[in-house]
Structure 1
Amino acid sequence: MESKLIREHFLEFFASKGHEIVPSAPMVIKDDPTLMFNNAGMNPFKDLFLGNSPVVHPRIADTQKCLRVSGKHNDLEEVGVDTYHHTMFEMLGNWSFGDYFKQEAIDWAWELLTEVYGLDKDRLYVTVFEGDAGDGLEADEEAKGIWAKWVPEDRILLASKKDNFWEMGETGPCGPCSEIHIDLRGDADRAATSGASLVNADHP
Structure 2
Amino acid sequence: MAKFGSISRRGVTFGACVEAAPMTTEQLAQAIRRGDRAALPRAITLLESTRKDHREHAQQLLLALQPDSGKAHRVGITGVPGVGKSTAIEALGMYLIDQGHKVAVLAVDPSSTRTGGSILGDKTRMARLAMHPDAYIRPSPTSGTLGGVAKATRETVVLLEAAGFDVILIETVGVGQSEVAVANMVDTFVLLTLARAGDQLQGIKRVCWSSPTSWW
With normalisation by structure 2, the TM-score equals 0.31
Where is the helix percentage greater, Structure 1 or Structure 2?
Answer: 2
| Greater relative contact order (Cα < 8 A, sep 6+) | 2
**TM-score, normalised to structure 1's length?**
0.33
